[in-house]
A and B are shown apart, each in its own frame.
Chain A
Amino acid sequence: MSTDLTMMDLTGENPLFKRTLIPFRIYKANQIIELREPVFSASVVVQSGNPLTTYTNFTKGGTIDDTTTSKIRYAASEAGITFSAALINRLTVTGYTGTEFTIYVTYQSLYRDPASISGSSIGPDYSPELMMSVLNKLSFLQGVLPPIPDITVEETTAINVLEEDITGTNPDNYIKDEIHLQVNTLVNRSVVRPAHGSFYKKDLLVKLGEVTLVENVDYKVVGINLGKTRVTTSNDSVYDYIVFTKAITTGTAVTLNYRAFGGMVCPITMNQTRALLKNIIEYIKLGNFVTADNLKDQPIIVYILDRLRLIEDMLNISAPVTYLYSSKPTDTWVDIAHIAPDGITGLVDTRGVGHIRIRTEKYFAEVKLNYDLDSTDRVLTSHTISSWATTVEQDSVAHITNRVCPKFRIVWNTNSVNSGIVLQMSITRSAAKNIYVEMQNYGGAFSNWTLLQSTGAALTPITTTTTLPDNTVWDSSIPETSAMSNTVIVSGKGYTVFIGNMPVHLLDQHTYNYDLTGDPQDNSNPILTKLGGLPVASLITGTDVIMSEIEALVFKVYDRYTGTMISKISDNLSLTEDTVKASVMYFDQDMCAVEGIITKTGAAYNLSVGATTGTHSSINERFNLRQIDILFKGAIAHA
């Protein structure tokens, strides 16, 4: 503590040094309350109850250390006074009679709270004490944040991360005699959540005091964790909570023996920790007492970083990386992630899985990217788990100018696969703009991708060459050895290529030409001829659409009689190298079908729409074609 005289009060009366109504919970006899600072004994007032009344069943005590005494003597000599007041730092509460209660302690401290505001300043006094106060509070927050605290130690700052056990047999995860003195009561139900999280049902043993309770008689296990149950190889289910069906007497201990699933550290906790750390560094940069250079050597920072590294190493879940990306209508490929050779074997897996989350502007997707270098068809495949992006319905026509449509591909050298693999990304946008793209490797222990770190500057476009993880060069001008996978597209819920209002009966005559003049007895000539449909505009940004990646077309037809929009996914699709044709029947009773034909010619896309409409619907002018979307391979079902 500082010897700054303004930080020390020898009078025991200065209001800036007063601590007011600090609460402590009393739960046992002769409980010792550590005040953790020198306190003027005569100033101590203890209260309890509601309304507060003076509480007297306590004794004062504690020894003031020599350093503090030395500082007092120095301060007193500087002030020219004799200091004789009694100081304490501890209370012993003697009034516990079996029922918990709260006391509130008010006193004058010798030292001032470093975070308090002095009368002459408009904010906290910046000082090393303030720094320590902030860091100590951060340390406490960090200590209680982990979802799996070790309840066997007194300090809440310790964590005990159990290894994830999908077998249900790991002896290290068997928790014996975990005591719950406080059973949560929610809407008249008594609930216990084991301190180590989800647990296997078969090994659960619940005792109330010394009595072993019976499942479905005295308690039930609820909250089955479907995700964990699905991955376990044990013939058992994983649950989260225990609900008691009989009353629990207050103060009676519930004891649990169980086998924890373990391994659960949420990425959000890590992200919050990182964000906190980042904020505190930014905050400290504004002050002058700790420099950014020596900050990293502060014990608490070292401790936090070590713990983050531990969690990252154990779970292989990384914090998101935010890239600055210059998006334009044409493809701009950049390196995003790589797979480096294994540190021990020097080998690179020829097949693997990836799981990433990507977020930019009004777009989010969680997608699995799996690769198989030996595949003769599609080396890279995608599976969209969930996505969110704007739609025409949501953003009107502005959706077309704002939408982003990420593409991915991988590159490697076929003559040295063990040089590593690079994952590349391109995001086109109808208007050029620098956008921030946040990516998170969400693959956990199964992922072998490593996201490249962001430098803060815009990512460098890759044109013909890039560097593989072992620093060899990949050069697209040498196609004999420099391989590039197929490109996968991760659109949101469909990629809109047509918006309009086209009465379908107008399209009929552009789709079929009926030969009404021929001899009805002569079947040697067809009675109708297929035409190309009505050419309309295709709303495709740059080269967003790769013909081989199209899975289906979604047609949206407005029914003018019922006032509803019919949304149909094409049930047949023919794909040649440059042309995709797809059609679907949307009103079976009257044989009404609609079709779309997309042709890629160089850098442009031609779109034609056609229809076959039954007489009833045609004469009534019942249906209008309103929208056509593309579904890419791997996209989620979209009705």
Chain B
Amino acid sequence: MLKLGIYVDGLSIPGGTTDIRAAIIFDDSTYTPSNVIIDGTTRYNLYTRGLYLIKDGDGNIIDPMYLLNNIDKFKYVNDGSISPPTGSLDDNMKLDELDETIPLTFIRANTVNNFGIL
């Protein structure tokens, strides 16, 4: 059966909520999800939920693809549930602006003051 797996950053705070960093769809008959461990330390905790148990504030079931498109609108509640979404569900986590002070990699490679030294 298809289920929803969500990754949260590090250990969750008891009684609180945790930001969802990433999410996947998986089939629990072929895949056993697990935490992401790097160098012996848990980097992401993975929690699983039934695919059609995610609801909005009015109790209506939300299409799982909507949740995937907007994971920043949801939070993992440390009782195992997922909080209802906040805000609109149709902006697909869109960014309003970029921090343009950070150079693009190619631009940085070309910021050689004196090409004569190349």
Contact = CB atoms under 8 A, between A and B. Distances in A.
Among B30, B44, B95, the most chain A Cβ lie within 10 Å of the Cβ of B30
Among A501, A534, A563, the most chain B Cβ lie within 10 Å of the Cβ of A501
A536 to B, nearest CB: 5
Interface stretch (A20-28, A262-270, A537-545, A568-576): A537-545
A430 interface: yes
A561 B94 CA distance: 6
A397 B24 contact: no
A400 B27 contact: yes
A488 B71 CA distance: 38
A501 B71 contact: yes
Contacts of B106: 588-591
Interface stretch (A93-101, A411-419, A615-623): A615-623
Interface string B60-87: 0001110011010000000000000000
A560 B70 CA distance: 11
Contacts of A500: 5, 22-25, 68
A401 interface: yes
Interface stretch (A58-66, A131-139, A199-207, A503-511): A503-511
The number of chain A residues touching the other chain, given as a range, is 35 or more
Contact of A589 (B5, B22, B105): B105
B105 A616 contact: yes
B102 A397 contact: no
B81 to A, nearest CB: 19
A588 B107 CA distance: 11
A183 interface: no
A616 B92 contact: no
Nearest to B107: A589
17 contacts: A397-B51, A430-B27, A500-B68, A506-B21, A506-B22, A535-B34, A535-B36, A536-B24, A537-B31, A538-B30, A589-B104, A589-B106, A616-B103, A620-B95, A620-B98, A620-B99, A622-B98
Given A400-B27, A502-B24, A619 B5 contact: no
A594 to B, nearest CB: 14
Given A500-B23, A537-B27, A615 B68 contact: no
The number of chain B residues touching the other chain, given as a range, is 35 or more
A626 B94 contact: no
Contacts of A534: 36
Nearest to A591: B105
A588 B43 CA distance: 29
B33 interface: yes
B47 to A, nearest CB: 14
B89 interface: no
Contacts of A590: 104-106
Interface of B: 2, 5, 7, 21-27, 30-31, 33-34, 36, 38, 43-44, 51, 63-65, 68-69, 71, 91-95, 97-99, 102-108
B23 A510 contact: no
Interface in A547-576: 558, 560-561, 563
Contact of A560 (B25, B30, B94, B104): B94
A614 interface: yes
B63 A501 contact: no
Contacts of B99: 616, 619-620
Given A500-B25, A626-B68, 7 more contacts: A396-B64, A397-B2, A397-B65, A400-B27, A535-B34, A536-B26, A620-B99
A591 B44 CA distance: 26
A614 B105 contact: yes
A622 B96 CA distance: 11
Interface of B, secondary structure class, is mixed
B65 A619 contact: no
B73 to A, nearest CB: 11
A501 B98 contact: no
Given A510-B36, A590-B106, A563 B92 contact: yes
A3 B9 CA distance: 93
A558 B92 contact: yes
A537 B104 contact: no
Nearest to B27: A539
A498 interface: yes
B102 A622 contact: no
The 3 closest A-B pairs by CB, nearest first: A537-B26, A500-B24, A614-B105
Contacts of B108: 615
Contacts of A620: 95, 98-99, 102
Nearest to B22: A502
A539 B64 CA distance: 15
A498 B104 contact: no
Nearest to B20: A501
A604 B26 CA distance: 13
A616 B36 CA distance: 25
B55 to A, nearest CB: 17
Contacts of B95: 560-561, 620-622
B22 A540 contact: no
Contact of B65 (A396, A536, A624): A396
Contact of B25 (A430, A535, A537): A537
B25 A400 contact: yes
A297 B43 CA distance: 79
Interface in A596-639: 604-605, 614-616, 619-622, 624, 626
A334 interface: no
Nearest to A400: B2
Given A534-B36, A539-B27, A560-B95, A616 B104 contact: yes
A615 B103 contact: yes
Given A561-B95, A622-B98, A540 B30 contact: yes
A560 B5 contact: no
A499 interface: yes
A105 to B, nearest CB: 65
A590 to B, nearest CB: 5
B22 A503 contact: yes
Contacts of A558: 92-93
B42 to A, nearest CB: 13
Given A561-B95, A563-B92, A620-B98, A499 B105 contact: no
Given A396-B63, A620-B102, A563 B22 contact: no
A537 B98 contact: no
Contacts of A392: 65
B113 to A, nearest CB: 20
Contact of A501 (B23, B26, B33, B43): B23
Given A397-B65, A400-B2, A501-B68, A616 B21 contact: no
B22 A501 contact: yes
Contact of B104 (A503, A509, A614): A614
